[in-house]
Structure formats: structure tokens, C-alpha cells
Amino acid sequence: MTSADRQLVENLVAIREFEMAQGLARTLKRGKSGSRASSAILSGDVFTDAPVFAPFDWQLSSEGNLGASIDKANKQIVVSAIPGASGFAARQLVRLNSGNHALSWTMSSEQAIAKNALAVSLQCAEEGAQEKAASVVLAPGKNREIVSVPPSACGWYWVSIDVTVPDGAVGLDAQIGDLALSQAAAGEKNVDARSNTPVLPASTSGGS
């Protein structure tokens, strides 16, 4: 695998040839040491390997005021941001059907995190799409939420870990692990997942 291989995948994504780009990335990753077969929607959900073929692996931000890195030893993604920072810390391009999906994660931080500062968002990646299909605020502890993806012609979505740190707030340093997205069981839903509007987490969550 070379930098030219990675650039070709990125170029195909840029012109929205998602199917071709994903097929190429899978072919090039085949046989890679440490790769594993998985039915998970997200690649690298256990954060044991550095991303190889973003955005089908995690694409990590490295802005001056916002960044993310993989902590392979602790199987976490570490997100850091300063006051006023806004944008995605990490994102991944996935094929996703409409319907209910289960989003699970663990999160910890040595300091309190401003309300709504961290969220996982789903947004259609296809041309002309602007509205987020769903957004789940990440709460500390071990959590599981049902995300309702509304019926549409969209087949490819950006799954992003978004950061919004207000001006004047304390900077953010958080560790996220066990981040997974899967098809929800039949009948499994949150109260807020009954409509096709963005889904927010339930009022209760696990301890920090």
C-alpha cells in the first residue's frame, strides 16, 4: 500500500464514486496484518489499529484548535479541543440503510464536558444533501442509543464525531471507546426515535 493508493481512494471519494472507492480500499487492505472480517457498520470501532484508508477508516482531524488520535493501547479515540473550536474530530464514510440503528459507546474525561460539546452525527454524503439525518449527544459512561435514519434515496452517510466547545468554556479532552453502530433489533427504539427527526439521547446515561 502506497501513498498513491491512498490518494486514489481519496480522489474517488471526492467525486462521489463511493462504491468504487470502497471496493478499492477493501482490495488493498485484504491480507493486511491485523485486519479482521466484521459485520460492523463502522470500521476500526475498537480502535486497535491506526487508520489506513480514510474515509472508510477513521479520518482524523488535526486542526490547530481541534484534533483526534487513536490510543491503540487503551483502544480509544482521544479527542481534544480548545474553547471556541467547532467541527468534526473524526469521521467515516459508511453505507447505511434507513431504519433504526443502535449506537453504543463509552466515554470518559478527567474534567466536566460542556453540554452538547460532543456528538455523533449522521449526514448524507451524496450530492445536494445538507441536513443531518440524526445526531446523538455523547454522554459520559457506557451508553446505547437508537438512531432513526429517515427513509430516503441516500445510501452513503458520513458518521462523524462532532465537537462544539463554546467560547469561554473549558477546553475538551475526552476518551471514546467501544464506538459501534449496528442494525437495531426489531421493535428496539428510544422514545425520541418514533419520528424521522434527529434523535437525541435519553435523559439517563451511565456513570462516568
- Res 147 pLDDT > 50: yes
- Res 194 pLDDT > 50: no
- Res 197 pLDDT > 70: no
CA torsion sign for 102, 55, 82, 198 is negative
pLDDT in tens, 99-134: 999 999 999 998 888 888 999 999 999 988 777 889
pLDDT in tens, 21-34: 999 998 887 745 44
pLDDT in tens, 64-76: 899 999 999 999 9
C-alpha cell at 9: 481512494
**What number of CA atoms fall less than 13 Å from residue 121's CA on the CB side?**
21
Q: Which of 10-19, 28-37, 169-178 has the lowest mean pLDDT?
A: 28-37
pTM over 0.85: no
Neighbouring CB atoms inside 10 A of 35's CB total 13
- Res 193 pLDDT > 60: no
Nearest to 148 by CA among 97, 203, 80: 97
